[in-house]
Amino acid sequence: MSRKYFGTDGIRGRVGEHPINAEFMLKLGWATGQVLGGGSTTRVVIGKDTRISGYMFESALEAGLSAAGVDILLLGPMPTPAIAYLTRTMHACAGIVISASHNPHHDNGIKFFSAKGTKLPDEIEAAIEEELDKPMVTVSSERLGKAERMDDARGRYIEFCKSTIPSRISLGGLKVIVDCANGATYHVAPSVLEELGADVVAINVDPDGLNINADCGSTNPGLLCERVVQEEADLGIALDGDGDRLIMVDHKGELVDGDELLFIIAVSRKENNQLFGPVIGTLMTNLGMEHALKAQKIAFERARVGDRYVMELLRQHDGVLGGESSGHIICLDRTSTGDGVVSALQVLATMVQKNAGLHELKQGMKKYPQLMINVPLARRIDIDSCEPVQSAVKAVEKRLNGKGRVLLRSSGTEPLIRVMVEGEDQALVEEQARHLAHVVEQVVGTRVGTA
């Protein structure tokens, strides 16, 4: 479906540039109220991450919703999955998240959750876009929406996170370094871990509105790797700015990515007879995970890249577990959306139950060498119907001789073609990825950049 504003994960862009400005957010709040405010429940939950523009957009959305006659419950800085959870438990008609996830502070965006704590259906997003094109009309004074702040949002979410692992499990004896990316988990994740008994060292927990995701968190875990080794910790946890992504670090300072974490959780679920349906990955999921799951007799399916598509396949197959290499992991048997803190707890619980370290648990999966190269677009191109590129793809696949994969896809958020080659032989993978990226570069006429 063609959309004017909504992408695969809400609305996102640079602050001050349309549509990420105060004027549009005012109208968006009103349009949302027009579409969602007609039922018996006319309350919308609003939360945000720690970027400075969140104050401006929170106020604008609040004003627009009030003008449409919808009440507002303000959560303040809270992780995206916490807003999904509180939307459900507070019986709101929708939840709004002001966040640009792992992007820098100069970006921001809006995500929506339904009353069930899931992403809004396409038809609701389309209805909101339709209202955006209409003149804004304010309801009469006696029908204006009221706003209030929810003072115990943090405590409610902390208790929920703790409830997602068995009460008998204690994290006592584990030393954990947690990197909160100066984002929305800064006042949540350390408390969850401490209350479960862990010895916690928290880093990047001093947000100033501008330092969210800046050289830290799940997209920049280098500092965390160093601190885990320096502090002789058992592991490290890296979250992103809005708390829905997770990367971990073992005691040796080695990264454990989303594929490896998903594998660890899947095996644990199977051993406890709690795994239903296939595990859902994406087109970018490492081939090593697919083979490792097969060895464990666990079914696996690939979705298009994006948590929206992972969720779609989970529902189609009545599955409970899926995720992406980036660390966006969905445990539908625990919560309704991807949650970095909840996912980390599933891994920690497995460590305690098996009395095993993270480094040991990841050994069941051998990652295949993989190289992805981003080719910036000088002009739009249908890569699937481009004969020179497709001929080159077939040639690379022939070189891999059935022991690897080739994937070309357009980025959903940037003007890029992503060229990925994966296989058993690292030298061959790198050689063929660079060759294929060069072919694509010649077609689109711009410069190659390695991911």
Q: Which residues are catalytic?
A: 101
**89, HSE (Cβ side, Cα atoms, 13 Å):** 15
Q: How many helices (H) and strands (E) does the chain have?
A: 14, 19
Cα(222)–Cα(12) distance, integer angstroms: 27
Residue pair 69/63 in contact by the 8 Å Cβ criterion: no
Structure tokens at 98: 């002001």
Cα(14)–Cα(47) distance, integer angstroms: 19
SS3 for 175? strand
Cα(226)–Cα(371) distance, integer angstroms: 24
Q: List alpha helices for 216-257, DSSP H.
A: 222-230
**What φ, ψ does residue 430 adopt, rounded to 5°?**
-65, -45
Buried b (16+ CB within 10 A) or exposed e, 197-232: ebbbbbbbbebeeebbbeebbbbbbebbbebbbeee
- Asked if the bond preceding 376 is cis, omega within 30° of 0, the reply is no
Give whole-number Cα distances, 108 to 5, 15, 134, 209, 250, in Å: 14, 6, 24, 12, 32
Residue pair 73/65 in contact by the 8 Å Cβ criterion: no
SS3 for 348? helix
Closest CA to 259 of 285, 293, 298, 296: 285
